[in-house]
Structure 1
Amino acid sequence: MRGQAHTLEGVIAALLVVSSVVFALQMATVTPLTASTANQHIENQERAAAAGLLAVAAQEHALRPSILYWNADERRFHGVGTIGYYDTHPPGTRFGELLNESFEGVAYNVNFYYHLPSGERRVRRFVYSGNPSDDAVAVTRKVTLYDGDFLRDASGGKSPRTLDEAPFFAPDAYPGGHLYNVVEVEVVVWQM
């Protein structure tokens, strides 16, 4: 009788283990959402890379010179041609070098947002690689410009003209003071 009880106990235990395994396998089914986990990981990596790029560019004081890399006579950035923005490669500024180093094989756009004296927000394209995909990520950093900031010449050096003396894409949003405008640098990154 004892042997039969142990056999019955073993069979019940085996059924319990098999039932648990079947239940666990049903809980771990692969769905279309499984791929989005990988996409989310890529988006997080791109967001971290863009945030790191802007942090390094700010630390190296590379953002302001790129914003001020403006040809006041032609009223566009140096070397962009008639389209008004960089479409294949960013400029030869330090910020442009950081973009090239950080985003090889990844598409990105760089936009400069600024305000009019009325408070209305406008955008100026700086680098445009195309329309971002649905999984694009955007990171921003603000740069304060002052009336006495010098525009940059084509070599990246200071030009003899300041913001309050030359035509610039962003107007003086704070006339009567030393503050000129606050430009928000946006980097949008996505997989090609």
Structure 2
Amino acid sequence: MIGNGGSDDDRGQAYTLEGIIGAMILLTAVLMALNSAVLLPSTSGTIDRGVQSDVGQQATDVLRIADEDGNLSATLRCWDTSGDGRFNGSTGAEGAYRNGDEINNSLGTMLTETFSERYSSYTMKAVYRPEEGEDAIEGGEQSVIEQGNALRKSITVSHTVTLYEDQTLTSSCTDDSDPLTLREAHDENYPIPPATSESNHIYNVVEVRLTIIW
């Protein structure tokens, strides 16, 4: 009788332990599911405020890193003056990149890996100062990437880039491999104008606006 009682106790403890382990596994699975769920917009298009902040920070970091390695400036100068003019490798309206087009540098890689698989789309615009001698107070803007309708739910961040007189176009979007200076390119069809005199070292100051859309 004593032996049987001990066996029952052991069996009961084993069941209890199995139950605890099962509950822990279930809890872990639920937590993992919740953590995965908040990383993406819901089917209704809404997104957690904390995640909005995270997305904004990620977008800010992408622009900052691309600026530090020179590829944000290189992308703005990656212009093909043949025909009506467009960004190298782009097929979208007004010379902009659209879905399926590749920006062949670290900026393009970071945008694809950070946002393309997680959110609906994104756009990027270059807002520049007016050409020297113009009376306009505000400059203009050029679409760099157009992948969606920014009237939907979105987050926009910006980063300022300075273009210089001694810089040239970048046919590969990574280095100064095109002989045309920015001023010479603008005389053809490069959209960003010189905002200062030719004797000034600065060509234009551009605000890059990146909008993540879902």
TM bucket, shorter chain: 0.7 to 0.9
Quote the Cα distance in structure 2 between the aligned partners of 1:162 and 1:154.
15
Aligned to 2:30: none
TM-score computed with the length of structure 1 as normaliser: 0.73
Distance 1:87 1:149, change over 3 A: same
- For residue 173 of structure 1, what is the amino acid of its counterpart? A
The alignment status of 1:47 with 2:56, answered yes or no, reads yes
TM-score (norm: length of structure 2): 0.66
Shift of 1:52: 1.2
The structure in which a higher percent of residues are strand is 1
SS in 1 for 2:148: coil
- Map 1:120-131 → 2, pairs under 5 A: 120-131=138-149
| 1:81-160 alignment runs, 5 A limit | 81=91, 83=93, 84-88=95-99, 89-103=101-115, 104-106=117-119, 107-117=121-131, 118=134, 119-154=137-172, 156-157=174-175, 158-160=177-179
5+ residue gaps, structure 1: 1-34
Match of 1:9 in 2: none
Aligned 8 A contact 1:110 1:185 in 2: yes
Q: How many angstroms apart in 2 are the aligned matches of 1:43 and 1:111?
A: 20
Segments of structure 2 that go 5 or more residues without pairing to the other structure are 1-43
Alignment of 1:170-181 (within 5 A): 170-176=192-198, 177-181=200-204
Distance 2:80 2:123 in 1: 21
Structure 1's consecutive aligned runs of 4 or more residues displaced over 3 angstroms after TM superposition are: 154-157
CA contact (8 A) 1:112 1:123 kept: yes
Q: Return the offset for 1:165.
A: 1.9
SS at match of 2:150: coil
Q: Does the 8 Å CA contact 1:90/1:127 hold for their aligned counterparts?
A: no
Structure of higher CA gyration radius: 1
Aligned residues: 157
Please identify, of 54-63 and 154-163, the stretch whose mean Cα deviation from structure 2 is larger.
Answer: 154-163
- Contact 2:103/2:173, CA 8 A, preserved across alignment: no
Shift of 1:133: 4.6
Sequence identity percentage: 26
Shift in CA distance, 190/153, structure 1 to aligned 2, threshold 3 Å: same
Question: In the aligned structure 1, how far is the partner of 2:71 from the partner of 2:92?
Answer: 25
Q: CA RMSD in A?
A: 2.3
Offset of residue 42 of structure 1: 2.4
Q: Distance in 1 between matches of 2:210 and 2:130?
A: 21
Change (3 A) 1:48 1:149: same
User: Which amino acid is 2:86 matched to?
Assistant: R
